[in-house]
Amino acid sequence: MKQIADLAGVFAYLSLLTVGGGMAAYPELLRLSVSVHKWLTEAQLVHLYSVGQMAPGPNMMMITAIGEWVAGLPGAIVVLIAFFGPTALLAFLVGRAWKRLEKWPWRESIQKGLAPVSIGLLLAGCFTMARGAIFGVETAGIAVGTLLILLQYKVNPALLILAGAIIGALSF
């Protein structure tokens, strides 16, 4: 029961940090799930997160796996509700109030202000994850190669992640 309550608390908290994208919450996800609660190792978290990039749908579905590891199927369900419930409710309420907010002069200020901060948080999350994923020339090469290909060509990122798996299996 304690585990379920911890899962609910952690993922409800993390959901509120996902401004701009799921990656913004990564540093806190790492701290809480690996250091504080020891639900999994950093390597496992990096693996789950990365494999999750290949899955269809919203890109944080890997959290279901953490919930399942900790407390079985109920854990997975609790994690999903905790992670998507609060922000869903917020979006619902703000969506309905939006017409009134449209004339509120601070709305544009908040949007303009949050944009660079949230992109910075995504980048910070990315650097945090890189520490657990980039170990040497080969892994750095795969990361930079993926980045350059995606910026240059219109290709489905899932294919590049698959390519990363093949290169990894062949070379490490």
Partner 1 sequence: MNESSEAARVSVLDIFLEFLLVGATSFGGGVVAYLRNSLIVRRRWVNDKEFVEMLSISQSLPGLNATNMAILVGDKLRGWAGSLAAICGVCLPGALLMLVVGLVYQQGGDRPLVNAALKGVAAAAVGLILATVVQLSKKSLSHRFDFVFMALAVIGVNRLHQSVPRVLIVLGLLATLWYRPGSVHKESAAE
C-alpha to C-alpha distances, 148 to 144, 153, 158, 161, 172, nearest whole angstrom: 6, 8, 15, 13, 22
Residues 95-134, interacting with partner 1 (CB under 8 A): 95-96, 98, 105-106, 108-130, 132-134
Work out which of 4, 8, 12, 23 binds partner 1, going by CB under 8 A: 23
Binding partner 1 (rule: CB under 8 A), the pick from 25, 34, 71, 82 is: 25
Residues that bind partner 1 (rule: CB under 8 A) add up to a total of 107
* Minimum CB distance to partner 1, residue 105 (Å): 4
Contacts of 13 (CB under 8 A, 6+ apart): 28, 32
Binding residue for partner 1 (CB under 8 A) from 4, 7, 24, 71?
24
* 4 interacts with partner 1 by CB under 8 A: no
Give the C-alpha separation, 151 to 64, whole Å. Answer: 30
Q: Which of 60, 71, 78, 82 binds partner 1 (CB under 8 A)?
A: 60
| Site for partner 1 contains 168 (CB under 8 A) | yes
- Only one residue has tokens 């990365």, namely 50
- Compute the CA torsion angle 107, 121, 36, 87 (nearest 10 deg): 30
**Nearest alpha carbon to residue 89 among 79, 97, 100:** 97
Q: Does the protein bind partner 1 through residue 33 (CB under 8 A)?
A: no
52 forms part of the interface with partner 1 (CB under 8 A): yes
